[in-house]
Amino acid sequence: MTTQTTDLALEVRAFLQSEILPLEPIFLKHGFKAVLPALQKVRQKVKAKGWWLPPLPPPHGMGLSLSAFARLSEELGRSPLGHYAFNTQAPDIGNMEVLLKHGTPAQKERFLEPLVRGEVRSSFGMTEPEYPGSNPVWMNTKAVLEGDEWVINGHKWYTTGFEGSSFCIVMCITDPDHPNPHARASQIIVPTDSPGLKHVRKISVMGEQGEDWMSHSEIRLENVRVPQENLLGARGRGFAIAQERLGPGRIHHTMRWIGIAQRSLELMCGYAARRELSPGKPLGSRQAIQHLIAESKAEIHAARLMVLDAAEKVEQQGAEGAKVEISLIKFFVAGVLQRVLDRAIQVHGGLGMSDDLPISFFYRHERAARIYDGADEVHKTVVARALLKEYGVEVSL
Ligand SMILES: Cc1cc2nc3c(=O)[nH]c(=O)nc-3n(C[C@H](O)[C@H](O)[C@H](O)COP(=O)(O)OP(=O)(O)OC[C@H]3O[C@@H](n4cnc5c(N)ncnc54)[C@H](O)[C@@H]3O)c2cc1C
């Protein structure tokens, strides 16, 4: 980690402390929309400091490497509002990276530029209720080329941030007869005001306030027509592009989780020092509590080093070359996060269960970490498959 990256991370932490953490109690009590006007002002300050969109190359952003941004992602992850303030919230950041790499000049002008400026939001629709998200080659949404238009029919859910987004990148089967199942799908940009695109409902999800970019929708596409030029990247490359996106995406997510875990550990230590069991005997004087603190510290430290190592490997060998490391961090860090949050609640007793602290929000909200972007079991299989291959055992996903 360079001194520059560390200095920047510390500056961002101080900024978070003074500009974003004061908004948290309002957010936790009244929801995202209650803090949106104030957050827009924070975004202007972020821009003025030259910190806008750290992982995107200039002129869009700061051009930080994946490893350098990983460090910053930890800092921003300390608050549920941190990434939004820097315009690096999912799924927008992933959509920006894909549009930047695969978008045509016209797509960049129409869809990427307003997203980069923070004027609009976007969504990404891959998962379907009737099919296992863990085996995405098996899906039903189809796009058929009729003249110069794609006609799309399908059913998606868990389309994060769909409500209020200006477009959705939809994963569709375009080549159902291709012998390679991984070459059957393409990504197509669908403006959300397209006739036939129906918002069925916002799904009520544990820990989610169901507002704005923090909502998850079920949608239907019924004979939705978009111009042929809305194909994103090459036809049949949908899964390959999704994999490219998910590699760095998992670095962003896992470092964000480490930020949450680190903050929870600090809250745990602060409370262990403050709360007295009897006069002059703080909670932290008990060995049982010390163990919870020490175990959390060790796991967070290990997780951080693992993610930074994976980020370096992605930089050197691409997402495909770092497949095993990415799967390792995805399930390992999600587990660390769950355990640290649980310990933080335990140490705080009743206060930990209350919504006076952000820990209970994090606990509910981040349970999904073990499911989205690949469930634990799938990532463990990826790791075991690579290891067992060397012993002549073939493992299928
Ligand atoms: C908060 C949240 C946000 C999301 N945002 C988006 C989004 O923006 N866009 C989008 O397209 N999707 C999104 N998703 C969907 C997410 O990607 C899927 O939920 C995930 O891929 C799992 O798919 P599934 O729910 O269909 O579960 P399934 O694939 O049906 O799996 C169910 C369970 O089976 C087990 N399992 C699965 N495969 C295996 C295996 N090979 N071996 C052993 N056990 C296995 C796992 O425990 C898994 O949790 C989001 C989900 C959540 C919870």
Output the residue whose Cα is nearest ligand 1's atom 44. Answer: 377
- In contact, 303 and 291? CB cutoff 8 Å: no
CA of 132 to the centre of ligand 1 (A): 7
Q: What is the pLDDT of residues 40-71, one digit of tens each?
A: 999 999 999 999 999 999 999 999 999 999 99
Question: What average pLDDT does the segment 346-352 reach?
Answer: 98
| Three-state secondary structure call for residue 227 | strand
pLDDT of 346 higher than 70: yes
**Smallest CA separation from ligand 1 atom 25, residue:** 133
Checking if the pLDDT of 221 tops 80, the result is yes
pLDDT tens digits for range 272-320? 999 999 999 999 999 999 999 999 999 999 999 999 999 999 999 998 8
Q: Which of 121, 131, 134, 381 to mutate for ligand 1's pocket (most ligand atoms within 8 Å of CB)? A: 134
**Confidence band of 247 (pLDDT split at 50, 70, 90):** confident
Q: How confident is the model at residue 2 (pLDDT cuts 50, 70, 90)?
A: confident
Least confident of 170-184, 244-258, 369-383: 244-258
129 lines ligand 1 (CB under 6 A): no
**Angle of CA points 327, 207, 41, to nearest 5°:** 95
Question: How many alpha carbons lie under 13 Å from residue 150 in its C-beta half-sphere?
Answer: 28
Q: How far is the CA of 375 from the centre of ligand 1 (A)?
A: 6
CB of residue 154 inside a 6 A radius of ligand 1: no
Q: Is 95 in the pocket of ligand 1 (CB under 6 A)?
A: no
Helix/strand/coil for 132: coil
pLDDT higher than threshold 80 for residue 209: no
Average pLDDT, rounded, for the chain:
96
Q: How far is CA 319 from the centre of its chain?
A: 16
The Cβ of residue 350 has, within 10 Å, a number of other Cβ atoms equal to: 8
Which ligand 1 atom lies nearest to the CA of residue 127? 11
Instruction: Transcribe 45-99 into DSSP letters.
Output: HHHHTT-SSTTSPTTTS----HHHHHHHHHHHHTSTTHHHHTT--TTHHHHHHHH
pLDDT surpasses 70 at 377: yes
Is the beta carbon of 145 within 6 A of some atom in ligand 1? no
Which residues contact residue 75 at a Cβ distance below 8 angstroms, ignoring those fewer than 6 apart?
Answer: 9, 12, 13, 16, 82, 259
pTM of the predicted protein model: 0.96
| Ligand 1, atom nearest to 156 Cα | 11
Contacts of 11 (CB under 8 A, 6+ apart): none
Distance CA 161, CA 176 (A): 29
pLDDT of 211 reads 82
Confidence of residue 1 (pLDDT cuts 50, 70, 90): low
Sign, CA torsion 192/197/198/201: negative
Confidence bin at 184 (pLDDT 50/70/90): very high
Three-state secondary structure call for residue 200: strand
